[in-house]
Structure 1
Amino acid sequence: MSPATMAGCGALALWAFLALFSRLAAGIPPLQLTAMGFAVGGTVGLAVVAATGRLGLLRQPPLAWLHGVGGLFGYHALYFLALALAPAVEANLLNYLWPLLIVLLSAPLRGLRLGPARLSGVALGFAGCALLVGTGASFPPGAAPGLLAAVGAAVVWSVYSVTAGTPRLVRVPTEAVAGFCLGTAVLATAAHLAFETTVLPNAGEALAVLGLGLGPVGASFFLWDIGMKRGDPRLLGTLAYAVPVASTLLLILAGHGEFSAKVVLATLMVTGGGFVAAKAR
């Protein structure tokens, strides 16, 4: 596995903490939480870029900003809309189409061969994810707008991820992600002020926001940018199905869930899918 693909795996590991930190900050409205998290992540990233004397790298063409801010904000806005308009189980299941779409889009957009082993691996991973997050899904007709938003979120994130490595965008330096995070924070703040009531976080929630900004909605996007531009998106897409499994295990360890045969079976299926994909040549 190349160093760039390992960086992408680092992003997946950080995203496993998203549910736990979000649970600890549950008293904060979602758009406000998004704005605060991205503000922390963007500010820390900007400080690192400034310390290395590379602030000039934030001067990028409009296409790069449209891709970066549009991908980060567009995904989160559609995902929160999906959770507001559709049952969480169904919305989460459809949202987790994004790893599968990353694998499938790698062929037409990046010219990367798939092959039966990779397709089998991602199918097994999706089946494990469906078993874990989709049990009892019924897709009620009245939730159609929310379900469409969940599919839209999956499409936006997969397209954002795969196109990051295309010729027109691969030259955009990872340092520019700091600016994209701050741009996302600005848009999330505007959406929050328009649709939510501001809540002052307590000490525990403030620490959870800090954790989010440093990891799942901070460093993760820098690592994911490296993985998508210089790593193997087919393997990363398959391994992404470990995120809901690891997230569930972390919630259990933190006392917010219980072990079950379903969790064990889903873990084995996702692990098996990742192994099959990793062995593909």
Structure 2
Amino acid sequence: MSSLLNSPATSAPERVSRATLAGCGALALWAFLALLARMAAGVPPLQLTALAFAAGGVLALAVVAARGGLALLRQGPLAWAHGVGGLFGYHALYFAALALAPAVEANLLNYLWPLLIVLLSAPILGLRLGARRLAGVALGFAGCVLLVGAGASFPPGAALGFLAAAGCALVWSVYSVTSKRMQAVPTEAVAGFCLATALLAGVTHLLFETTVVPDARQWVAVLLLGAGPLGAAFFLWDAGMKRGDPRLLGTLAYAVPVASTLLLVVAGEGVLTWRAGVAAVLVAGGGLLAATARG
């Protein structure tokens, strides 16, 4: 993937455009993350993280090996801490959020991360935000406040799930924005990060959870997670955040919660209440407003 985006015959503007397009491909795959996670419901969060990343990591490693890029997995401690910390932290919290809170609301709250990417791109990367982007961010934030604010009613224990959803949003936004500072780390190294994440999740699962033997439906979900949202998507997102426009990708990501929520509802894994519907419109509208900003 990185070799294609960095072809000597490709001009700098074309590289940026193709890298940003790669990031958009990751967003499309992530629209299926919540649905596949719900298909695997019953598998403990850390165990699900371990199994899905093992599947994605093995597949990614095979692709890297076929291209003769295994040597690119040798990276410094900072690169490994950044990669594994981001992948493990986000997904362990995300799967916990979907297990503890209503799927539609937890999934939408998780999508604070595009908002945070836009905001953090200014202090961390020195990129200009501007009034239009800030207005879009405000709309998205308003949608999240409406979703879980005063008047909303949820089952006992949901608050912990919402806290986990907010936590994974923070982890992923920091990971994504700081990826721009890790441009020297090749995209192929993500294969190693996935396998290390699987190992870390597996160890913590054995320490804190009871193992569940997945049934056929859960295994299908695990394999699809590893092939798409927890596999190919990471390579596409890594390339997009390192060589594309993080502000544009952060704002376009506002469309993902709408698609993801609709997939959950259509599959019968959630109910689209008026709060969730209005919140999804505000989040997507904010993203559209910010994505059309110039500069």
TM above 0.5: yes
- Give 1:15's aligned residue: 30
Residues 1:164 and 2:179 aligned together: yes
SS at 1:165 equivalent: helix
Rounded Cα–Cα distance in structure 2 between residues aligned with 1:131 and 1:249: 18
Kindly report the root-mean-square deviation, in angstroms, between the aligned alpha carbons of the 2 structures: 3.0
263 and 143 in structure 1: CA distance in 2 versus 1, 3 angstrom threshold: closer
Q: CA deviation at 1:12?
A: 1.5
Pick one of 185, 192, 195 that aligns with 2:208: 195
Amino acid at match of 1:220: A
Residues 1:51 and 2:66 aligned together: yes
Amino acid at match of 2:191: A
- Give 2:193's aligned residue: 180
The within-5 A match list for 1:85-164 is 95-131=110-146, 136-137=151-152, 149-164=164-179
Rounded Cα–Cα distance in structure 2 between residues aligned with 1:271 and 1:146: 23
Which deviates more from structure 2 when the two are superposed, residues 130-139 or residues 116-125? 130-139
Pick one of 28, 38, 42 that aligns with 1:27: 42
- Give 1:242's aligned residue: 255
Q: CA deviation at 1:258?
A: 5.0
Amino acid at match of 1:18: L
Q: CA deviation at 1:211?
A: 0.7
Rounded Cα–Cα distance in structure 2 between residues aligned with 1:129 and 1:270: 8
Which deviates more from structure 2 when the two are superposed, residues 144-153 or residues 24-33? 144-153
82 and 63 in structure 1: CA distance in 2 versus 1, 3 angstrom threshold: same
Amino acid at match of 1:212: L
1:108-143 Cα deviation digits (max 9, x unpaired): 111111001111122223334554576854799x98
Pick one of 69, 77, 82 that aligns with 2:84: 69
Asked whether the 8 Å contact 1:10–1:220 carries over to 2, the reply is yes
- Give 2:239's aligned residue: 226
165 and 83 in structure 1: CA distance in 2 versus 1, 3 angstrom threshold: same
Q: Which runs of 5+ in 1 are unaligned?
A: none
Q: Which runs of 5+ in 2 are unaligned?
A: 1-15
Asked whether the 8 Å contact 2:104–2:276 carries over to 1, the reply is no
SS at 1:198 equivalent: coil
Q: CA deviation at 1:11?
A: 1.4
Rounded Cα–Cα distance in structure 1 between residues aligned with 2:37 and 2:97: 16
SS at 1:200 equivalent: coil
54 and 134 in structure 1: CA distance in 2 versus 1, 3 angstrom threshold: farther
% identity of equivalent residues: 74
Rounded Cα–Cα distance in structure 1 between residues aligned with 2:160 and 2:267: 33
Q: CA deviation at 1:215?
A: 1.0
Rounded Cα–Cα distance in structure 2 between residues aligned with 1:271 and 1:66: 32
